[in-house]
């Protein structure tokens, strides 16, 4: 069985990836190497920097992921600052900031950027997005981060009211992981050619 490493310290992200990979013949291992999350304009820049950093220290096939929540009523904030803002004010702080905002401005999207690197080939980025609304109160016990306040379009539950398999069907990460798995299946990468 082929193996790919997911460079992350986030158990929630890893669980989601592990579920997705269970549909494939690729083994996924969590590797908590840590890399600097630079202050950048885009998630893509953060992911590319992470790849640069890790590839100098780790010589196996790996991917990492940077994600963010972009709220329309705040012109896309917290976006690339999502981790910092979550740490500072959490879901309840976001809900408080949004009090009084019109329904339209409660619209938001999550974006996931996966950066994959295999020794001796160029890095690849895979992007997934999900559009939805910020709820008026936190709901649900599953997931992590902003999951209790995000309701994907067409649904009535927050991500935190969905188990991993259900969240993966809608989520930004589910979509970027699908693209990564398609890339593997299409045999573009030497290591995964025989799959």
Q: State the catalytic residues.
A: 66
**Helix then strand then coil, % of the chain, to nearest 5:** 40, 25, 35
Which of 48, 63, 68, 181 is the binder for ligand IMP (CB under 6 A)?
A: 68
Query: What single DSSP character describes residue 12?
Result: H
Q: Output 70 or 184, the one with its CB closest to ligand IMP.
A: 70
Task: Name the phi and psi angles at 193, rounded to 5.
Answer: -60, -35
For residue 146, state whether it binds ligand IMP (rule: CB under 6 A).
Answer: yes
For residue 101, state whether it binds ligand IMP (rule: CB under 6 A).
Answer: no
Stretch near ligand IMP under the rule CB under 6 A, chosen from 26-34, 65-73, 91-99, 116-124: 65-73
Report how far apart, in Å, the C-alpha atoms of 165 and of each of 7, 22, 30, 144 are. Answer: 21, 11, 19, 14
For residue 174, state whether it binds ligand IMP (rule: CB under 6 A).
Answer: no
Which of 33, 144, 179, 189 is the binder for ligand IMP (CB under 6 A)?
A: 144
| Binding positions for ligand IMP, rule: CB under 6 A | 10, 66-69, 82-83, 86, 110, 143-147, 159, 171, 173
């Amino acid at each position: 069985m082929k193996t790919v490493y997911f460079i992350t310290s986030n158990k929630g992200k890893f669980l989601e990836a592990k579920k997705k990979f269970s549909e494939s013949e690729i083994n996924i291992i969590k590797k908590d190497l840590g890399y600097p999350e630079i202050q950048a304009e885009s998630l893509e820049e953060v992911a590319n920097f992470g790849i640069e950093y890790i590839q100098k220290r780790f010589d196996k096939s790996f991917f990492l992921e940077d994600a963010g929540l972009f709220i329309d009523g705040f012109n896309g904030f917290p976006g690339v600052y999502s981790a910092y803002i979550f740490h500072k004010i959490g879901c309840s702080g976001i809900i408080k900031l949004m009090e009084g905002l019109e329904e339209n401005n409660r619209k938001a999207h999550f974006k996931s950027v996966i950066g994959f690197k295999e020794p001796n080939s160029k890095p690849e980025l895979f992007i997934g997005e999900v559009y939805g609304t910020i709820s008026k109160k936190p709901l649900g016990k599953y997931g992590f981060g902003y999951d209790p306040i995000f309701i994907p379009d067409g649904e009535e539950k927050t991500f935190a009211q969905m188990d991993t398999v259900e969240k993966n069907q809608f989520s930004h990460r589910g979509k970027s992981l699908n693209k990564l798995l398609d890339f593997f299946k299409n045999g573009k990468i030497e290591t995964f050619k025989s799959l």
